[in-house]
Amino acid sequence: GENVEQHPSTLSVQEGDSAVIKCTYSDSASNYFPWYKQELGKGPQLIIDIRSNVGEKKDQRIAVTLNKTAKHFSLHITETQPEDSAVYFCAASDGGGTSYGKLTFGQGTILTVHP
């Protein structure tokens, strides 16, 4: 089955700096890669996703890049703000193929943005 590795496990930045979180996956059948933000006591919130027919996607201060050949994808947050502090999870799925779209998650990155 799919295996997703996420790094780093913790990331501390100053407000205004950029933050980058990286994930690798093992199953070449995976073609859908969402990123979730989870705040304390809340469920994961989808912040951006990418499918394998594109290499990069941006939404304001957030961008995701995908390298399907190398089987890795990254989350980039620019101009970080204290409210970006949370746990971020990457995930991978086959987008509804033989695995029914179930998500395999990385272990999470605790992002702390210092004012």
Partner 1 sequence: GAGVSQSPSNKVTEKGKDVELRCDPISGHTALYWYRQRLGQGLEFLIYFQGNSAPDKSGLPSDRFSAERTGESVSTLTIQRTQQEDSAVYLCASSVREGQPQHFGDGTRLSIL
How far apart CA 114 and CA 53 sit, in angstroms, is: 36
Q: Give residues 66-95 in contact with partner 1 (rule: CB under 8 A).
A: 89, 91, 93-95
Binding status of residue 114 toward partner 1 by CB under 8 A: no
Nearest approach in angstroms of CB 46 to partner 1 is 6
Query: What x-and-dash track marks residues 33-62 binding partner 1 by CB under 8 A?
Result: -x-x----xxxxxx--x-------------
Alpha helices in 18-105 (DSSP H): none
Binding status of residue 106 toward partner 1 by CB under 8 A: yes
Nearest of 91, 57, 98, 61 to residue 78 by alpha carbon: 61
C-beta separation of 52 from 41 below 8 A: no
How far apart CA 83 and CA 72 sit, in angstroms, is: 27
Nearest approach in angstroms of CB 34 to partner 1 is 7
**Residues in touch with partner 1 (CB under 8 A):** 4, 6, 32, 34, 36, 41-46, 49, 89, 91, 93-97, 99-108
